[in-house]
């Protein structure tokens, strides 16, 4: 185990992702870390419930010693031990994103030599976070393509502000990994959508469906309405682009009080159009989230100009693994992001 790595939580994008990625990488590399200035520039600085749950969750799965694990904490110390599979539950306790907690804990367990059964509670459909559908339809299939054995199931949806969602994730020890390769343009894009809704009048979903059908010129069977169980009301419009059998992008907009259904649906329409108009196969959100899997198994993807989240996540990864862990090549607006094959996963399990 090396010396303590000090990380400035206000670096780059300066949000929760610096903390979450640092925790995953600390556990994966056996590196003790001190993170300071956590979310320093944010309206409510320090650890919110979601980040605190990610911290305690990461600590549970690698038997870490932790200092500073309290709400609002602006500095933490995390000294990881050995990774432990098994059954674990993580509850955010508010509508904070449970998928972000999962994306912290999951990389740690993906290469473990024992299986895990995980339950996450909190928000499953949050603005500014990957909705469960993004995680389940886009992110996890890419991990499976790399050879990881991981599956998720939604029990109950959790929307802001009531929360109370729940999903489970199972992992099994991975066989040999295949480097991820997402470089080709999307050859035959096909768009589908689903209006996810809980405890709201049926006309909301109908109006959203009508906008999507017309604006994206889709066949009626391409847009479904899914009523989900949830403790509180909620509405997410989810549209995804597939190429053959693979989902390559998933766009989401959220209904909220005072925001007309037509505007919510149009938001998703605009996102889908923007993705289809741009050539790179990997969209902005997927790009920052794929970086950790990429250093685990190696590979390359092509995306557009890097977001602040992606640039910051690359910086965090380089702090743990060195400059060559991620290489970015530029060609016009395109960015090819590469990690050497046989990456970090070689060293664990």
Name the residues that contact ligand AMP, by CB under 6 A. 15-17, 128-130, 134, 252, 285, 288-289, 309
ω into 272 cis (within 30 of 0): no
Handedness of CA 345, 182, 98, 136 (dihedral sign): negative
CB of 39: closest distance to ligand AMP in angstroms? 8
Contact 147, 166 (CB under 8 A): no
In the complex with ligand AMP, the residue whose CB is nearer, 79 or 238, is 238
Is 88 among the catalytic positions?
no
CB of 220: closest distance to ligand AMP in angstroms? 26
In the complex with ligand AMP, the residue whose CB is nearer, 15 or 298, is 15
| DSSP per-residue codes, 300-323 | EEEESSPPHHHHHHHHHHHHHH-G
Closest CA to 76 of 84, 64, 87, 63: 64
| Catalytic residue (choose from 51, 125, 285, 309) | 309
In the complex with ligand AMP, the residue whose CB is nearer, 10 or 17, is 17
CB of 342: closest distance to ligand AMP in angstroms? 25
Measure the CA–CA gap between 283 and 301, rounded to whole angstroms: 10
Measure the CA–CA gap between 226 and 194, rounded to whole angstroms: 7
Measure the CA–CA gap between 22 and 315, rounded to whole angstroms: 11
222 φ, ψ (degrees, to nearest 5): -80, -10
CB of 317: closest distance to ligand AMP in angstroms? 14
Measure the CA–CA gap between 13 and 306, rounded to whole angstroms: 12
In the complex with ligand AMP, the residue whose CB is nearer, 32 or 127, is 127
In the complex with ligand AMP, the residue whose CB is nearer, 12 or 81, is 12
The tokens describing 30, both together, are 């056996």
The tokens describing 209, both together, are 């469906």
CB of 139: closest distance to ligand AMP in angstroms? 9
Closest CA to 317 of 346, 286, 296: 296
Residue with tokens 């990625």: 21
The set of catalytic residues is 309
């Amino acid at each position: 185990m090396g010396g303590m790595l000090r990380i400035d939580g206000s670096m780059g994008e300066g949000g929760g992702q610096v903390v979450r990625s640092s925790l995953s990488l600390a556990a994966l590399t056996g590196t003790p870390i001190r993170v300071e200035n956590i979310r320093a520039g944010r309206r409510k600085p320090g650890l919110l419930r979601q980040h605190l749950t990610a911290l305690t969750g990461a600590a549970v799965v690698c038997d870490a010693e932790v200092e500073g694990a309290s709400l609002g904490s602006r500095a933490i110390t995390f000294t990881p031990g050995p990774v432990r599979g098994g059954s674990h539950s993580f509850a955010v306790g508010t509508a904070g994103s449970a998928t972000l907690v999962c994306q912290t804990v999951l990389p740690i367990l993906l290469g473990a030599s024992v299986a895990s059964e995980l339950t996450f509670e909190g928000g499953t459909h949050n603005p500014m976070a990957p909705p469960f559908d993004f995680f389940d339809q886009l992110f996890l299939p890419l991990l499976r393509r790399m050879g990881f054995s991981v599956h998720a199931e939604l029990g109950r949806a959790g929307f802001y502000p009531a929360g109370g969602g729940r999903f489970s994730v199972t992992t099994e020890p991975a066989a040999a990994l295949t480097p991820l390769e997402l470089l080709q343009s999307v050859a035959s894009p096909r768009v589908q959508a689903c209006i996810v809704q809980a405890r709201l009048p049926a006309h909301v979903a109908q109006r959203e469906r009508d906008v999507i059908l017309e604006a994206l010129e889709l066949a009626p069977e391409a847009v479904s309405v899914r009523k989900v169980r949830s403790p509180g009301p909620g509405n997410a419009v989810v549209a995804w682009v597939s190429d053959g059998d693979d989902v390559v992008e998933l766009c989401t907009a959220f209904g909220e009080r005072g925001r007309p259904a037509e505007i919510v649906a149009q938001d998703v329409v605009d996102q889908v159009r923007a993705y289809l108009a741009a050539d790179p196969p990997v969209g902005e959100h997927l790009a920052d989230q794929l970086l950790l899997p990429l250093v685990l198994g190696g590979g390359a993807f092509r995306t557009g100009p890097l977001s602040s989240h992606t640039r910051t996540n690359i910086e965090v990864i380089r702090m743990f693994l060195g400059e060559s862990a991620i290489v970015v090549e530029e060609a016009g607006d395109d960015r090819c992001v590469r990690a050497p094959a046989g990456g970090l996963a070689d060293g664990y399990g």
